[in-house]
Amino acid sequence: MASHFARRLIRRPVAAFFLLRSYGHTRQITHYILPGDSVCTKPLREVLEFFPRSSHYKLWSRSFSFENGDLVDAVVPFMGESITDGTLATFLKKPGDRVEVDEPIAQIETDKVTIDVASPEAGFIQKFTAKEGDTVTPGTRVAVISKSAPTDTHVAPSDETVSKDTPPAIPVEKKIETQVPQVETPVKEKPKAPSLPTPKTSPSEPQLPPKERERRVPMPRLRKRVATRLKDSQNTFALLTTFNEVDMTNLMKLRSEYKDAFVEKHGVKLGLMSGFIKAAVSGLQNQPIINAVIDGDDIIYRDYIDISIAVGTPKGLVVPVIRNADGMNFAEIEKEINTLAKKANNGTISIDEMAGGTFTISNGGVYGSLLSTPIINPPQSAILGMHSIVSRPMVVDGSIIPRPMMYIALTYDHRLIDGREAVFFLRRIKDVVEDPRRLLLDL
């Protein structure tokens, strides 16, 4: 009975094929009945060679059994508590490239940082499922990774068969039609209207440059975020700036005398920023209102001091935070500044390292700025601006001598901070920088 049933299946290959498929995926079936009631345990692709090349069953079986099962998706990772989406900035790889586990294949640009999309498995990039410039959310599929090596695409046997077995087309004889010559009627030309003189361009008209010399690029998300926050700062805060100047002689002398010993002991260079941070900590402790913030109808006084440092990077301005700066010494501050600055420049800084901050210091002097009015970084209430050091003639003890001078500026929210507190704070910065010994004596 079984042999009779098998012979009937052999005479109906299509029915046999779908019957085998009903017991599981063809790739998992290991026994096949062949002509002569024999049983075969070879893989299905070898069994299919039994059918002639011109058979259509082979084409059908190829389409049903072609399933790799080794494809994995690369998705957008979690980007932070306050970030819900980002822009697919660029692909670091191309389709067909080899990737390793956790190797970055794309970069997502958010409002604050740039996040890498890593490959979940080692393999080859089969295709990208998103485009550069798309807005993506955590969990969005970006690429498909194949764990096996890519294979060359071949023409299906059925296609080759059709091209070989198709008889040549029989040429169709063209019918010769007798054409009757047509006599063309001459067309009378209409009289031309008198030409009007071309109006001359007025010399006063502005000559705009051609559009070919302009480039339009989408604004990065980081730049959009900075623009929004700073404009909100202008619209919300009552901004006012007060200025002072600082004699940098003593701080620069301190740095010059102890720079070698400082590097030898702490492994980091002694800079001017650590001196200003220590001075800002002292000023915030003397004027705690500048470290406070308005929240609705309340004032929140902070009993901790987290100093934000504005860092300019090729992708835009970022503001990493030095936590608990009031409990750090010069060496600890310098080490933290170097670590955060390196992360900011190579794009590896995290969102947590930029969150918070009670007061910001911006050093425009590294770019040559002589004087500026910095804008507050919300939700803080003040920001200190440093500028370039310029040798200027100053009157010291009745004599005019050259001194390295720096202008400093404090922009503050006048809704919360009065001019008295702002001037006292800036004066404290000046006193500590000009005489760092005050920090030792707590004066």
pTM of the entire predicted model: 0.60
Q: What is the pLDDT of residue 193?
A: 53
Domains 71-146 and 221-441 fall in the same CATH topology: no
Q: What is the pLDDT of residue 69?
A: 61
Q: What is the pLDDT of residue 185?
A: 53
Calpha distance 247→436 (Å, rounded)? 12
Q: What is the pLDDT of residues 357-373, one digit of tens each?
A: 999 999 998 889 999 99
With b for 16 or more beta-carbon neighbours within 10 A and e for fewer, the 312-348 pattern comes to: ebebbbbbbbbeebbebebebbbebbeebbebbeebe
Q: What is the pLDDT of residues 107-139, one digit of tens each?
A: 888 776 778 888 888 888 888 888 888 888 888
Element (H, E) at 300: strand 298-300
Asked if 101 contacts 139 with a C-beta cutoff of 8 angstroms, the reply is no
pLDDT higher than threshold 90 for residue 386? yes
Q: What is the pLDDT of residue 8?
A: 56
Query: Which of 235 and 84 is assigned the larger pLDDT?
Result: 235
In the three-class reduction of DSSP (H, G, I as helix; E, B as strand; rest coil), residue 57 is classed as: helix
Q: What is the pLDDT of residue 88?
A: 84
Q: What is the pLDDT of residues 136-181, one digit of tens each?
A: 888 888 888 887 776 544 444 444 444 444 444 444 444 444 454 5
Asked if 373 contacts 409 with a C-beta cutoff of 8 angstroms, the reply is yes
CATH level 3 topology of 71-146: OB fold (Dihydrolipoamide Acetyltransferase, E2P) (2.40.50)
Side chain identity at residue 165, one-letter code:
D
Lookup result for tokens 């100047």: 245
Active-site residue (options: 418, 431, 435, 442): 418
Calpha distance 84→101 (Å, rounded)? 26
Q: What is the pLDDT of residue 209?
A: 72
Three-state SS letters, 278-328: HHHHHHHHHCHHHHCEEECCEEECCCCCCEEECEEECCEEECCEECCHHHC
pLDDT higher than threshold 90 for residue 385? yes
Mean pLDDT of the 392-399 span: 92
Active-site residue (options: 266, 326, 414, 435): 414
In the three-class reduction of DSSP (H, G, I as helix; E, B as strand; rest coil), residue 260 is classed as: helix
pLDDT higher than threshold 60 for residue 348? yes
**Domain spanning 221-441: which superfamily?**
Chloramphenicol acetyltransferase-like domain (3.30.559.10)
Q: What is the pLDDT of residue 182?
A: 53
Q: Is 116 a catalytic residue?
A: no
% residues pLDDT > 70 (the chain) = 70
Domain ranges within the chain, ordered by starting residue:
2-65, 71-146, 221-441
| 400 Cβ contact list (under 8 Å, min separation 6) | 393, 394
Q: What is the mean pLDDT of the chain?
A: 77
Q: What is the pLDDT of residues 239-292, one digit of tens each?
A: 999 999 999 999 999 999 998 999 999 999 999 999 999 999 999 999 999 999
Q: What is the pLDDT of residues 402-434, one digit of tens each?
A: 999 999 999 999 999 999 999 999 999 999 999
Q: What is the pLDDT of residues 218-241, one digit of tens each?
A: 887 777 877 888 888 888 889 999
Q: What is the pLDDT of residues 295-312, one digit of tens each?
A: 989 999 999 999 999 888
pLDDT band for position 194 (cuts 50, 70, 90)? low
Give me the phi and psi of 144, to 5 degrees please: -115, 125
Give me the phi and psi of 248, to 5 degrees please: -90, 10
Q: Is 418 a catalytic residue?
A: yes
Q: What is the pLDDT of residue 29?
A: 40
Give me the phi and psi of 262, to 5 degrees please: -65, -45
Q: What is the pLDDT of residue 330?
A: 92
Calpha distance 304→79 (Å, rounded)? 27
In the three-class reduction of DSSP (H, G, I as helix; E, B as strand; rest coil), residue 87 is classed as: strand
